[in-house]
Each structure stands twice: as structure tokens, then as C-alpha cells.
Chain A
Amino acid sequence: MNARYYTLRQADLPALFDRARGDYDVIAKRRDANGNLCYGPATSFADVDFTAEQPRLSAKACAFPQIEELTRYRREGRTFTDATPAAPARPALLFGVNMCDAAAFEILDKVFSWDYKDDPYLERRARTTLFALACDALQIDCFCDRLDFPTAAVDLIAYRRGDDYLVEVRTEKGAALAEKYAACFGPAPAAEATGPGATSPPAAKKPPLLEEARPQLSRSFDHEDWALLAGTCVGCGTCTYLCPTCHCFDIQDEGGPAEGRRLRVWDHCTGRTFTQMPAHQPRDRQFQRYRQRLLHKFWYYPERFGPILCTGCGRCITFCPVKINIRELVEYFGGLKATPPGGARRK
């Protein structure tokens, strides 16, 4: 559909939130027990941080939760009962999600609806409306100015205009929301009625984009500097669990004879057990596991699906305990930059 534009006044935000609460499970940015920003269910606008600041975890859990119960059984005597929880019925609204987190869903959609249609993911995804809040500035670690993420699946985008917002309605889902709460949306100023001005993100691109690293990356597998530059990777799951696009999972059975469940849980390719076989570990050094994560994002995934598996949010740099910088490594191993990060090289 063609995008339509509205003005959303700051003063109307609480009313929009309250009305949406009547129809949607609203997920928004709020503070967690330690005062850190997170995405979570919000019941009052007073708890909502409608800012462009980045939460610690991405929003992917809305469609791909860390623990997802696929089936549950109960047994009494010789009788088994299927106690699998019903899928949530109400639609969900991601209210004020960052663009880099919202864009990630389109990337995830491709892998969860490829040869196998992943019902649990696709059901959650279908019920979710993405109302993004565009951010104004790059932070120290994020780099969405260096890549092209897809935005066709983002339903609405709010751009800050002084104290108020210009809202771009981009999909049928977005239009449904704007119509339902028409009282909160005013006409866009004439100058912007056909599209936002120059401040619309993503900002002006600075070449070269990280997508351009792929030809050289695909020849970098045996580069001698991987062992040094990824050698400080400790093998934790921070980068993958915080990442909006990482989607590896494991299927686990938990419980006992009386009651049990089959779960899908997040897993991480950077972990030591990820490719552990009974007799063999094909990636037995940690740098090989880090290399897998990077090459999956910038070579294997785009080769199969088109876009890179990254939206430049930078969490994997900010929260990496040893500050390994994926952007720098893509540039170095992808031939966009001659010097290795930190100056470490083998010869």
C-alpha cells in the first residue's frame, strides 16, 4: 500500500496507549528491576519510556521467546492429557520499538517461513503490529548507517518533529490501527503529507555498506588473523541472545512421568556445545565459533535469503564482555579496511 502520513501529538500519546490497551497486548520500553531499559508488557503509560534509547535485549522475543512451550502432557495412570497452552488470542502491539529491532522481524520471517512454516513463530508474528519510533542519532557502537535493512514489514513509523511526531502508516495492519484510533491522529502538515523530510532514517548512507564485504568475506575463511582477532571471544551467548536477528534454538524435553513439556529455547552458535557431536567437535577452537556467527550473518544468510542478518543495533559490541567489534571485523576480513581492529595481526 502507499504510505499515508499523520501527525501524532505528544499530548495524545497516553490516550493512544490507553485505547490500544483495550484491543492489544501492548509491549513497550520500560525499566526493569535494575533500572535498565527493556521491552515488556506495559499496563500504564506512566511506566512507558517512549524514547529512542536502546533496550538491553531486542524485541525478537515477541515472536521468538527465549522459552516457548511447544507441547505439554500430563499423565494420570494410563491416561495422557494434552495440556499444551493455547496460543495467545489477542493481537500484540510493539509500541515505540526501535527501527533496528522492528526491521529484524522481516529478516527473521524469511528463515521461519522458508521450506518449513514455523507455526509458533508465524502465529505470534501475524498477531503483532510493529509501531516503530525512529531514532535521531547513532550511538557509539551502532552502525545502521552502514547497512541497508529491510523496512517493508514495519507497520507504522513515528518520526520526532519537535515535541510531536510525524507518523508514517506503511501497511494494512498499520492502517487498521490508525483508523481504529483516528481521534489520536491529525492530518500531517502539508510539507510532509507525501513523506518525511531529510531527517528520515536511515540517514544518508556512507559508503561502503557492509553488504559489499561479502565477496571478500567468502574468501576469508582461512585468514590467519581470525585466531587472534576472535581469540578473545569467551564463548558466551551475550551477542546472540541480545541480537535482534540471531535465531538459533534448541529443542529440549523437560519434566518427568507425571508431567512434562517440550520446549524451544534460545541457543547460541558461539557456545562450546553448539556443534558438539558424540565423537567430534567440528569447531573446536573458540575463534571458529565466532567466525561462524559473523560469516552466517554476512555471507551464508545473504547468499540464501538476500539481506544480511544484521540491523546494526550494536548490542553485540556494547555488551560483549571483551568488546569484539563485528563491524570492524566485517570490514577487515571483507576487504573494506586494511588495518585490523586493535592492531593485532599474525604476520
Chain B
Amino acid sequence: MTPLNAELQAAVRRLFDDGRIQYFLGYVEDYGHTFPAILTPASDLARLTFDRRSYHNLARFLDEVRGAKVGLVCKACEVATLNVLAAENQLARENVVVVGVPCPAMVDPGRLNADSSVPAGDDPALWQEKCRRCPERNTPDADVFVGERVSTPPPAPGWPLLEEHERRSPAERRAWLAAQLALCIRCYACRLVCPLCYCRQCFVEDNKPQWLDKSADGENNLHYHVIRALHLAGRCIECQECSRACPVGIPVDLFNQVLSRDFAQRFGFAAGRAPDQKAALVDYQRDDKEDFIL
């Protein structure tokens, strides 16, 4: 067991013993994988871990334990998510204990070894794309911090994936989009892993009227992906869970990156910076660029 995991397990045991939490959302390691789990005081904490496969955004699972006192392991991704949830009045922050960790950068799940273990070495090519752009590896605003703080390497500037995509010709991009939409099976994993897609009833589930046909073909799939992305405009914190969850390998978060870049370039705005940050689409500054107004 790593020293970090020993410290994490001890910290969670204390939170349970002191009665500060009823549930803990963390990562456990079993059957060769690391995955999210909802733990109680009766759970075996020996499997609790934080490793380079802890990419899941744990804020997604808060709804399952709504109303209870709950602790959770937070990377900077989860903290940004909690900030958006708080700003949108979706989070009782006093019920949540944020356990901070030094994040080692998550490994792209597609780069894991065949037995699902983490490849040796720390080549940034192995990381998830978001981790190469991460501005802070130590959880900010943690209630409890476990482990030694690490230094954050300088983040890659801009939106490299998006920029690479945009270097292709319009015809190539159209063909690429059509090919991706043809792969989509509309399992809705991208929408359902998203901690900010918290609507009790999503538009895709409405049937009176039915906004979206159930058949998973190109036009309906485009309709779905564009609306999903637009509903996250100015809210997405770029955890890239949507892309990671996609069973057919569509880089779904490229849709979101287009919008995130617009908010950054036009309004100097990034979602999830503070719990009292106003949502970009309900706020304005006197010096906002208005060059889109004719």
C-alpha cells in the first residue's frame, strides 16, 4: 500500500469515527480495476485507493447520498464541479467534506496495459488530455488534505485537441463528424456520467412531446450531441468524463471544448472557479466584448 493510500484510509476512518460523515465516496481497487464506490462505516476501507486510474468524477455520485453527511476524494476536477453545483444551488456544502489529494495526473484509459494496470513511466503522452492542461494538481479548498503536495508542471496552453481538429479542411471535418455520429449508439453514457447533467428529466427522456426520435441515426445523434453540449455552455468544467465513458470512442468533449474556448476568449470565463461564481450566461461585465452584436 502506498503511503498516500494509508493516510487516506486513516483519514476516512477518522471522519467516520468522529461522526462527521455517514457515507464516503472514494475509489476502490478490486478485480484488476480502480472504480468509484459508496462506502459506509461498515465497509472494508482497506481497498480504498487513489491512483492514476481515479479518473471518474466523484461529484456525480453525490445525488445517490443526497441529504446525508458525505465525504469524498476530490481532485481539482471535483472541486470545480462542486463550485458549479454550489453556484447553481444544487449542493449543501455544509454536508460535504472535501478530502484533498495530490493528483499524479490520470492515465488515459486507452493507454492502460492489457491487464488494466498502469504503464510504467510518467510520459505525458500517457495522460488524459485534461491533465496536460491542468493548472493545479493539489486539491484547492480541501477540508482535509492527505499526502504530500506536489508541484504542477506548466499546463499546455490553449485547446490542443480542438486546434488539431481545426487544422483539417472543412470537408475533412464534415466527414469526420459524420463518421463519429454514425458510431454513436445513444447509450447516453456521456450525459449520464456528467455530474452537471443533473436534470431530473432530460429532454431526451420526454415523450410528450418527444423532442428527439429514439432511432440512433446521424441526424438524431447530431441533434442530441449539440443540445447536450449547449446545455453545458459556460458550465462544463472539462473533466472529460463524457469522452472517457463513450463505449465507441467518440471524443464527445470536443463539442464542449468549442464552447469553453468561446467563454474563455470572449469573457475571460472558466466555469467552477469559485462557489459564488455567477454562471456565464446569467452575468455580464460592462467591458464584455460585444463584437457579435451587429
Chain A residues engaging chain B, CB cutoff 8 angstroms: 32-34, 36, 56-57, 66-67, 139-141, 228, 231-232, 234-238, 241-242, 250, 252, 254, 263, 265-268, 271-273, 276, 286, 319, 321-325, 328, 339, 341-347
Contact: B192 with A236, CB < 8 Å?
A: yes
Asked if residues A236 and B43 are in contact (CB atoms below 8 Å), the reply is no
A34 with B187, Cβ < 8 A, contacts A140-B32, A252-B215, A273-B205 known: no
Residues of chain B within 8 A of A265, CB atoms compared? 214-216
Which candidate, B134-142, B241-249, B285-293, is the interface stretch facing chain A?
B241-249
In chain B between 182 and 203, which residues have their CB closer than 8 angstroms to a CB of chain A? 182-183, 185-189, 191-193
A267 to B207, alpha carbons, bound, how many Å? 14
Chain A contacts for B250, CB-based, 8 A? 34
Query: What's the Cα separation between A341 and B191 when bound, in Å?
Result: 26
Q: Give the complex CA separation of A228 and B39 in angstroms.
A: 7
Known: A140-B114, A234-B192, A343-B30. 19 other contacts (CB 8 A): A33-B179, A34-B250, A56-B248, A231-B61, A231-B64, A232-B61, A241-B185, A252-B213, A263-B214, A276-B205, A286-B64, A321-B245, A322-B35, A341-B30, A341-B31, A342-B37, A343-B28, A343-B45, A344-B40
Q: Say how far A137's CB is from chain B's closest CB, in angstroms.
A: 10
For chain B, residues 229 to 260, give those with C-beta under 8 angstroms from any C-beta of chain A.
241, 244-245, 247-250
Chain B residues whose CB sits within 8 angstroms of the CB of A32 once the complex forms: 183, 248
Q: Which residues B47-64 have CB closer than 8 A to chain A?
A: 47-48, 56, 60-61, 64
A325 near B47 with CB under 8 A, answer no
- Give Cα A319 to B245, complex, Å: 8
Contact of A250 among B28, B42, B205, B214 (CB under 8 A): B214
Contacts of A254 in B (CB 8 A): 213, 215
Contact A344 B216 (CB under 8 A): no
- Can you offer 8 A-B residue contacts whose CB atoms are under 8 A? A34-B249, A228-B38, A234-B192, A236-B187, A250-B214, A266-B216, A321-B189, A339-B44
Interface string of B151-191 (1 = CB under 8 A from A): 00000000000000000000000001001101101111101
Query: A345 — which chain B residues lie within 8 A by C-beta?
Result: 40, 42-44
A34 to B110, CA, bound (A): 12
Residues of A contacting B17 with CB < 8 Å?
none
- B193 near A321 (CB under 8 angstroms)? yes
B185 contacts A33, CB within 8 Å? no
| Least CB distance, A322 to chain B, in whole angstroms | 5
Distance between Cα atoms of A146 and B140 in the complex (Å): 46
Q: How many residues of B contact A (CB 8 A)?
A: 53
Interchain CA distance A241-B188 in the complex, whole Å = 11
Q: Does residue B115 face the partner (Cβ distance < 8 Å to A)?
A: yes
> Smallest Cβ distance from A311 to chain B, in angstroms?
18
Q: Is B90 an interface residue (CB 8 A)?
A: no
Nearest Cβ on chain B to A324's Cβ, whole angstroms: 8
| A315: nearest chain-B partner, CB-CB | B247
A323 touches B33 (CB 8 A): yes
Q: A140-B115, A252-B215, A345-B42 are in contact. Are A238 and B35 (CB under 8 A)?
A: no
B215 near A232 with CB under 8 A, answer no
Q: Are B182 and A342 closer than 8 Å at their CB atoms? A: no
Inter-subunit contact B31/A325 (CB<8 Å): yes
Taken together as a complex, chains A and B put the C-alpha atoms of A186 and B281 apart, in Å, by 71
Least distance between B30 CB and chain A CB atoms (Å): 5
A238 touches B187 (CB 8 A): yes
Q: B276 on the interface (CB 8 Å rule)?
A: no
Please, how many angstroms separate the alpha-carbon atoms of A33 and B181 in the complex? 10
B266, chain A: closest CB distance, angstroms: 31
Q: Are B192 and A235 in contact (CB under 8 A)?
A: yes
Contact of B42 among A66, A321, A346 (CB under 8 A): A346
User: Are A67's CB and B64's CB within 8 A?
Assistant: no
Judge whether B30 and A328 touch: CB under 8 Å.
yes
Closest A-chain residue to B110, C-beta based?
A36
**Bound Cα distance A67, B186 (Å):** 12
Asked whether, in the complex, the Cβ of A347 is within 8 Å of the Cβ of B36, the reply is no
Q: Could you tell me the distance between the alpha carbons of A276 and B245 in the complex, rounded to whole angstroms? A: 25
Pick the most buried of A234, A272, A325, A328: most chain B CB atoms within 10 A of its CB.
A234
A184 smallest CB distance to B (angstroms): 33
Given contacts A66-B216, A139-B114, contact A56 B37 (CB under 8 A): no
Evaluate contact between A140 and B185: CB separation under 8 angstroms: no
Question: Which residues of the other chain, A, contact B39 by a CB distance below 8 angstroms?
Answer: 228, 343-344
Known: A252-B215, A265-B215, A342-B35. Is A319-B247 also a contact (CB below 8 A)?
yes
B116 at the interface (CB under 8 A from A): yes
Would B38 and A36 count as touching, CB distance under 8 A? Answer: no
Inter-chain CA distance A263–B220, complex, in Å, is 14
Contact A67 B215 (CB under 8 A): yes
Q: Give the distance in Å from the alpha carbon of A302 to the alpha carbon of B176 in the complex.
A: 43
Least CB separation from B216: chain A residue: A66
Chain B, 10-49, CB within 8 A of any chain A CB: 28, 30-40, 42-48
* Residue among A228, A324, A343 with most chain B CB within 10 A: A343
Chain B residue nearest to A341 (CB atoms) is B30
**Residue among B35, B61, B182, B214 making CB contact with A252, cutoff 8 Å:** B214
Which residues on B sit within 8 Å (CB–CB) of A236?
A: 187-189, 191-193, 245
- Chain B residue numbers with a CB within 8 Å of A272 are 205
A237 to B190, CA, bound (A): 11
- Interface residue B217 (Cβ < 8 Å from any Cβ of A): yes
- Per the bound structure, the CA–CA distance linking A139 and B116 in Å amounts to 10
Q: Name the residue among B32, B36, B213, B215 with the largest chain A CB count within 10 angstroms.
A: B215
What chain A residues lie within 8 Å of B216 (beta carbons)? 66-67, 265-266
B110-151: CB near A (< 8 Å → 1, else 0) gives: 000011100000000000000000000000000000000000
Residue of A nearest to B176 (CB): A33
Assuming the contacts A140-B116, A236-B193, A347-B42, asked whether A322 and B56 have C-beta atoms less than 8 A apart, the reply is yes
Give Cα A279–Cα B101 distance, bound, in whole angstroms.
45
How far does the Cβ of A229 sit from chain B's closest Cβ, in whole Å? 8
